[in-house]
Structure 1
Amino acid sequence: MSPRDTPDYRPLDLGDVADTAVDVFEDPDDVRLGDRVLHGLPFRFSSDRDRAVLLVPPGGSARIAADGRPTWLVFAHALLEPELFEGGRVGAPVGTYRLEYRDGTSVTRTLRQRFEIGPTPRRWDGRPLPLDWGQTPLLARNDAEHVLMDRACGRYDEAGARLVGIDDPQSRVPYVLPYRFYLWAMENPRTDAELDGIVVEAGGASVVLGAVTLSDLDEEPFTRTVAREVLVEMRDGGVTESLELEVDRGTASYVYRTAPDVETAPELPGGWGRSRPEEWGTGYAKVSASPSATVSVRDGGREQGAFRWGDLVERGALTFGWGSVRLPGPDQNWVRTTVRDEAGNPVACRIRFQTTDGIPLAPYGHHAHINSDGGTWNLDIGGDVRLGSYTYAAIGGTCEGWLPTGPVQVEVARGFEYQPIRETVTIAPDQTELELELVRRFDARARGYASGDTHVHFMSTQGAELEARAEDLQVANLLLAQWGEHFTNTEEFTGHPHVSHDHGTVVYAGQENRTNMLGHINLLGLREPIMPWSTGGSEEDELGGGLATTLSHWADECHAQGGTVVLAHFPVPYGETAALLATGRLDAVETIAYDDYNISEYYRYLNAGFRVPLVGGTDKMTSEVPVGLVRTYAAADAGGVEYEAWCAGIRRGDTMVSSGPLLWLRADGQPPGSLLTGRDSVDLGIELETIFPVERIELIRNGEVVRTEYVDPDASTHRLDLTWEVTGSDWFAARCFGAADAGPRHADTWNRPVFAHTSPLYVSSQPDYERHDPEVVTTMLAMIDAARRHITEHARTRWAGTVHHRHGEPDHLAYLTRPFDEASAALRARSDQ
């Protein structure tokens, strides 16, 4: 837009009075001249670099011709000398503007230091911070506007700045202020008289005047209205990241999709998200604009249409061929929300609000759209979780922020044992407090079980504690890891548990040690770090890195510290798995989601006689996964949470893995992990407790489904009791699955299924429990041989020069291959027996 296209604002031409070259500025090459539009207002700067500005020296004056009856005058000006930073006084008079009228009268306005005017910015070379940062005039705006950065693209090193939204000069290195002039709007007190001219007088500093623009509108040139939401509905193409609103005299945020109505055809219980629709026709942005502002709707850079902001404010809604825009009601209250348990105590939880139009209302300090709805790998952004279309805030029991008066949709969740809330509340015109109650449906702690996540990344200890408490999770294992040349959570390692103030939650920083081919292993409860965290080259280790150790040696070091060893996301990466099982180095294997292949591999090892517990973790690496979405219930004392007691329950095999339902298994009253021998039969009891609709429960015997029990999707509890004959050595486990027509999958980044699976019980009709599967053993021997040959024939094990390894042994290859030789010998001995 050029100044000539704007009849409601009239830029003056200062070409006749401009007398000073652009070199008067410290960085003349960065000064933009000619016709410019600043904050939607037209200005005409001189295009002659030798006569670029009007400079009025101390004690001097100059006159500018002007006419008409403007309502406002906007000056683009600055002071040349930086006396403010040399002991000058804020508020000191530095000059005047005198409006002269054709009737012979005049009006004078004083220019005061840091009120209406201030020193033009400088580079301040040699100083760590520019002196004029944060010292701009308090009654003027600088000539640089806040511009949204590209929402989806940009340099990697600008990632942090891009989360701010605007191009923020504070993020720049070196710090350079992007403006030269200050824009001060002066109201004309004599609109009844014809203007004749403007006299500029300088006092104790030189006044630099670059441009003057006159307004004929009955509005302040710079809007002071607070941004409000605008709903945008697109008839064709829907709302994507490429849709944007552009405002000439104001600001607009990114356009975000609205969220689906929480009470229309819900897929999952309240608080557990909703899958993202592939196409969505409605979005919203926050706009602050002058009534005369033009709002342009663009999609992929192509203009769809435009409207005048004042027309929308006056009518409330506008309809066009491409779609429509609408303003929701403006009334809102700052509301403090408290979520309490049945005893009336504030309780940590996950919470979200949205309007009935689908506009999310994040509690203050939280995000309505994490990372602008972009990816969140390796981003810990302060207790926020996105599940499909919905973003939740983890709170300690209270939160506050703006809520509109009238109906507001709210969701609250706290793990798998509380009845989640999904309801519409009404905020009264004078309401400033909102009370909600979470009701506990089930109590695993009363049964003697604590829940924990074996696998969490990229969080701080305090962040992990908050989110774990909000998910009713007693244990969170925050794992240090190496990702090439990127190391995460180094600073979180202390070698001891971090216990919450109420002693109900433990965060323990352990390690996930990783190799690309041999596998990943979780080392829990470490007292000292076990290095290296990754080895063997990329993807996990640095590019070109050598193989320094094996999972078996890491496991041995962990056990030497009294720690617990868990094979991460069993069985893949599938390299050293067989060797670890054969040598008894694993305390448990981990599932991060139910998958037929992974669970079948687990069953194969159970059928071969390996008694290894099953645990669950999230492998959380993104804000699109709640802590404990897949969790381990392990037997522990029913009182305060003790980390060692939870780990001991894992090692005993008294565990149940869940992504929602609670499934309890007993054999003759004994829990999973138990060994019952000399039994002709066994009484099996399976009990289901769930806030998620469940379709069926399955009893597994030796890897086969031997009983399927269908469950009413509306049922929250179900019990199955049966007696089973025992004729040899059998293992039993129970599992259940979410109801297909009620959302069998979560809305997290991996769309994990709703399921639960117990660890096995082991029962034998003989004095001993013995199982053997020659085919499995043969496969294990082949895997061990292949992994060993990977080390001796393929892996990078040849360092240049003389190398002294961390393990201290002179024969590095012998050190690497020893666990595989031990595993082969153990399997052959097992076969011989």
Structure 2
Amino acid sequence: MNSMTPHDHRFVPLPIQAAYNWTIASLGHGDCSDAVLTHKDKLLTGRQELWGVPFMLGPQDGANNVILLKDQEVELILPQPLHDRQLLFVHAADFKESFTSPDGIINPMMGTPRLGETVCEYVLHYSDGTEAAFPIRRRYQISEFQLKWGENSFESFPHIKPRTMVTNSDVLHKEAPAIPWGQSQLRTTFPGFGSGMHHWLYALNNPHPDKELIRLVMRPADGTAFIFGITRTSLATNPFRWDARRKARYVSAPGFVPQPFGDNANIGIDLGAIISAAPALEYNHASWLDNPNPPLPAPKQHEWIVEYTAHPDAHLLIRGESPAAIPLRELSASSEWSLMEHTLRRVTVRITEQSSGSKVAAKIHVHGAFGEYIAPLNGHRLPNAHWFEDYGTEYVQDFHYSAYIDGEAEYKLPLGSVYIEVTKGFEIRPVRKHFTITSETNVITIELERVLNWRHKGWVTADTHVHFLSPQTALLEGNAEGVNVVNLLTSQWGEMFSNLGDFDGKTTIGSRENGGSGEYLVRVGTENRQHVLGHISLLGYEGKMIVPLCTGGPDESGLGDPLEATITEWARQCREQNGLVVMPHLPNPRAEGAAALVLGEIDAVEMCSFENVGINPYSLSDWYRYLNCGYHSPAVGGTDKMSQQTAVGTIRTYSLVRSVSFTYDTWMSSIRSGHTFVTLGPLLEFQIGGCVMGSLMQLPGSGGTLDIVWQVSSVTVPVTKIELVVSGLLREEITVDPEVGQYAGHWSIPVKESCWLALRIRGKYHDQSEMIAAHSSAITVIVDGKSCFKSTDAVTILEQIEGSTAYIKTLATRADEQTYKRMLMTLTSAHRALHNRMHQHGILHQHSAVDQHDHHHHAIGRTMNHHASQRSRIRRISGYGIKNNSIHRHGGHKHDHGDGHEHHEHHSHGQDSSAHDDGDPIS
């Protein structure tokens, strides 16, 4: 923004045209260094505003437009006597090299530029005949056009002032980012950023403003100097030195949105910079304080918190508003602006456990009277919620920011009202309190009360799916969120890899063996991925990393990567290395994971909640169909955390570790046993006749009555309904009062056939929609020795395996022939395993088969011609071409397909006779 205002009397450029003795365009060899000649087109001329100060530099035409101070002094006669307090120079020194010996040693070592060497001298002459001389030294009052990194000037600034900038992810897609991605995370530039040739700004203090200053003499000393322009001012302090940051509340006109960034900025400060302009937030403290479930803050209409740093005599500039320029000294007199408290008190905030008084890690949020976020001294004031762009320990929830601390943090708090929120997991009551900060406040201590003690009962919490944190940061965030086990997963995104160096296949961070307490653990595993076939989380395995991490090309692996492994093969290798296999973020990518589950290579399926709005019924629908077919993988919860918008353990696993000490290995065993539930807040216990979640119950052929007992508690998510799910269908339901927080009950359910049962909890935050907030793993009931098997679900699982096979055959980039055939054989094995079960259960099904087994009907020769004649009638178009459909009705006849699995079949030879033709997947 142009900061010059029509009646700005703070600065007056001096007319120094008479003193110019050289033309930039005519500079040649012998006048200055070759480095300056190479870049002389970047030397400044004309009217310039530098750090908010106006300068009139030399003309852009062919006239003399610079003072070249080299061989003789230059005198400037002032047109009238001056009494200004400061003269502001735009100048620079030519390059000067130090002697370097053949061995590379510089002696004496003065640096680059040569520290303290006097380039020239400025002498002020007064009407009474006195004078004041000022040596102008390199790296003090002047410096060279270009610098070595880290050898900045002590008393002068490069001509481009620092400014606020947005991260590349905040830039609109139509704009090309001008700053590299990593550097954009700074959110601020530095003095001189973007300049190829630094011009240096120096404020020379007039020691005798009471006297008449009549002329200025500039004398060369050692080297060459360029003087471009001089501006006078009577400001009391250096205009290039800004005060510490401050905040102000601004009520704008309707429709005006402050934008301090880039060329389109509509708000700025001439002698300073806007740091940020964010909506003021309404926390509604009357309902926020001491409330375990307050609504998130809402932005106030037309009200903003503007943070800035500036010289006290700066002007605030607003494009399109009236007045357009407001002196900061008069800001408090404006009806639209009010300065916020800027006297800050350094305060220690300490979080302790009520029962023991010991310090505990937690998540903390602090805001001031206007809802403005206050970060700890070692925290981000503007956390970045973009994907893989923030490495701090913060949590971003819309406009509500929090930080993770180890139990104690240092803050600079404004005097007056501050509001503090502290949370730690699902078993500790959240704290939201008001404090008044005075000049005597040194320490604030907040006690946390554990009101639910599922941990004491043997339940251990875990997040099965976390990315992009360092192990130590994951340990802190897990501790602060009450998550006992954090699985930090190495993976690949195209040519980007995460946490590669953190994987060693053996270390559990936080374990007693690793020097930790043993209560909070982090283990680095891998998430191996293929964009069509699926993802698989490989947790806690030992030894070498299972590679490739990703395969088959973008968007998971790199362009041109051939398909070298299946989900099933990765899972099998993990289990061979004593690891735990989790099918992540069920159901998608929804394909070959079905084969791994059918072959028994999956230990658990993972529920995610990407938008933190509950367990997705779509995910449950996918899980239920596996349960309906007798594949009883327990449920776990994982966040798939990739940014600060997701907290570790937002959705988490509770698993039962009882009768053994808690370690990472015993945690994996508890997952395999299925004693688990998934939750976003409510905690539950669920038993049938003394059998816990994950158990297998046997009933005789006559069935029986199940005695179901449950308990539900919550201190975070208000519970609204408690439901009993039987084989995927709602069987029982009760509506509860969300304010109560603790519930218990039982049902008696008659059962005549095999089924599975689980507890499903719904909850609701304030004005948000009701969500599925928790779900138990299933208890399986086997009647008369017959496992669950639902034909319609089995067919959908079979189709996934067939589709995965089709992808490998047709679209996937092939590796070597042996790898290709091995992968197809893996899928063939899964297909046959499920297909045989369908035979065993006498299923009538239509599918696109992958196995060539014409001998399937060898005993029924008279049906073969019928099969052949029917093939053209039952062909159908699929996503990858034309496939053969087959209709089967199977019963008890047994035969062997040659793959190690037996088929049990009965055949009817009437209108329902099979038309069966399943192509060979590896021919």
Change (3 A) 1:817 1:605: closer
Worse-superposed segment, 673-682 or 421-430: 673-682
Q: Distance in 2 between matches of 1:538 and 1:91?
A: 56
SS, match of residue 413 in structure 2: strand
Q: Distance in 2 between matches of 1:195 and 1:582?
A: 93
Q: Which runs of 5+ in 1 are unaligned?
A: 123-129, 746-752
Counterpart selection for 2:279 from 257, 261, 264:
257
Q: Distance in 1 between matches of 2:57 and 2:259?
A: 36
Q: Is 2:642 the counterpart of 1:628?
A: no
Task: Give the partner amino acid of 1:393.
Answer: A
SS, match of residue 452 in structure 1: strand
**1:186 aligns to what?**
204
Query: Deviations 1:313-363 (Å, cap 9, x if unpaired)?
Result: 5xx2523xxxx2221122211112111112111111111111110111011
Counterpart selection for 1:515 from 491, 505, 530:
530
Q: Distance in 1 between matches of 2:255 and 2:670?
A: 54
SS, match of residue 596 in structure 2: helix
**2:916 aligns to what?**
none
Q: Distance in 1 between matches of 2:95 and 2:417?
A: 56
Q: CA deviation at 1:546?
A: 3.2
Change (3 A) 1:772 1:819: closer
**2:13 aligns to what?**
11
Q: Distance in 1 between matches of 2:273 and 2:800?
A: 62
Check conservation: 1:294, 1:309, Cα contact below 8 A.
yes
Worse-superposed segment, 809-818 or 151-160: 809-818
Q: CA deviation at 1:586?
A: 1.6
Q: Distance in 2 between matches of 1:318 and 1:155?
A: 37
Change (3 A) 1:829 1:477: farther
Change (3 A) 1:639 1:141: farther
Q: CA deviation at 1:50?
A: 6.6
**1:125 aligns to what?**
none
Check conservation: 1:70, 1:216, Cα contact below 8 A.
yes
**1:138 aligns to what?**
154
Number of residue pairs aligned between Structure 1 and Structure 2: 793
Q: Distance in 1 between matches of 2:425 and 2:828?
A: 44
Task: Give the partner amino acid of 1:166.
Answer: T
Task: Give the partner amino acid of 1:76.
Answer: V
Change (3 A) 1:195 1:84: farther
- After TM superposition, list the pairs within 5 Å mapping 1:170-569 onto structure 2: 178-237=196-255, 239=257, 244-261=266-283, 263=285, 274=296, 280-298=301-319, 306-313=324-331, 316-319=332-335, 324-342=336-354, 343-371=356-384, 375-500=385-510, 501-527=516-542, 528-543=544-559, 545-569=561-585
Task: Give the partner amino acid of 1:75.
Answer: F
Q: CA deviation at 1:652?
A: 0.8
Q: Distance in 1 between matches of 2:367 and 2:132?
A: 52
**2:22 aligns to what?**
20
Q: CA deviation at 1:296?
A: 1.7
Counterpart selection for 1:702 from 727, 750, 754:
727
Q: CA deviation at 1:742?
A: 5.9
**1:38 aligns to what?**
50
SS, match of residue 535 in structure 1: coil
Query: Deviations 1:532-569 (Å, cap 9, x if unpaired)?
Result: 22233333233454332211111211111121111112
Query: Deviations 1:250-286 (Å, cap 9, x if unpaired)?
Result: 1211312233326355599659882766x85322222
Change (3 A) 1:333 1:611: same
Q: CA deviation at 1:98?
A: 2.4
Q: Is 2:684 the counterpart of 1:663?
A: yes
Query: Deviations 1:392-448 (Å, cap 9, x if unpaired)?
Result: 111111111211111101111111111111111111222122211111111222111
Change (3 A) 1:19 1:595: same
Task: Give the partner amino acid of 2:440.
Answer: D
Q: Distance in 1 between matches of 2:606 and 2:675?
A: 14
State the percentage of identical aligned residues: 28
Check conservation: 1:99, 1:195, Cα contact below 8 A.
yes
Query: Deviations 1:630-689 (Å, cap 9, x if unpaired)?
Result: 100111248864112111111111001001111111222331011222473333221112
Task: Give the partner amino acid of 1:772.
Answer: F
**2:598 aligns to what?**
582
**1:126 aligns to what?**
none
**1:167 aligns to what?**
189
Check conservation: 1:497, 1:643, Cα contact below 8 A.
no
Task: Give the partner amino acid of 1:385.
Answer: Y
SS, match of residue 699 in structure 1: strand
Task: Give the partner amino acid of 1:718.
Answer: Y
Q: Distance in 2 between matches of 1:49 and 1:166?
A: 38
Task: Give the partner amino acid of 2:21.
Answer: D
Task: Give the partner amino acid of 1:609.
Answer: G
TM-score by length of 2: 0.80
Task: Give the partner amino acid of 1:735.
Answer: R
Q: Is 2:85 the counterpart of 1:77?
A: no
Q: CA deviation at 1:522?
A: 1.3
Check conservation: 2:159, 2:191, Cα contact below 8 A.
no
Check conservation: 1:267, 1:743, Cα contact below 8 A.
no
Q: CA deviation at 1:595?
A: 2.0
SS, match of residue 334 in structure 2: strand
SS, match of residue 419 in structure 1: coil
Task: Give the partner amino acid of 1:476.
Answer: V
**1:770 aligns to what?**
787
Worse-superposed segment, 578-587 or 611-620: 578-587
SS, match of residue 440 in structure 1: coil
Task: Give the partner amino acid of 1:252.
Answer: I
Task: Give the partner amino acid of 1:51.
Answer: N
Change (3 A) 1:292 1:778: closer
- Which of 1 and 2 has greater Rg? 2
SS, match of residue 186 in structure 1: strand
Change (3 A) 1:621 1:268: farther
SS, match of residue 691 in structure 2: coil
Counterpart selection for 1:591 from 607, 612, 621:
607
Check conservation: 1:565, 1:587, Cα contact below 8 A.
yes
Q: Distance in 2 between matches of 1:816 and 1:546?
A: 18
The two structures, once aligned, show a CA RMSD in angstroms of: 3.0
SS, match of residue 597 in structure 1: helix
Change (3 A) 1:543 1:114: closer
Q: CA deviation at 1:571?
A: 2.1
Q: Which has the higher contact order (CA 8 A, sep 6+)?
A: 1
Q: Which runs of 5+ in 2 are unaligned?
A: 100-107, 511-515, 610-614, 843-890, 892-903, 905-923
Task: Give the partner amino acid of 1:633.
Answer: Y
Change (3 A) 1:703 1:821: closer
Q: Distance in 1 between matches of 2:386 and 2:408?
A: 26
Task: Give the partner amino acid of 2:364.
Answer: I
Check conservation: 2:247, 2:308, Cα contact below 8 A.
yes
**1:646 aligns to what?**
667
Q: CA deviation at 1:83?
A: 6.4
Q: Distance in 2 between matches of 1:289 and 1:582?
A: 66
TM-score by length of 1: 0.88
Q: Distance in 2 between matches of 1:102 and 1:270?
A: 75
Change (3 A) 1:785 1:37: closer
**2:894 aligns to what?**
none
Change (3 A) 1:815 1:639: closer
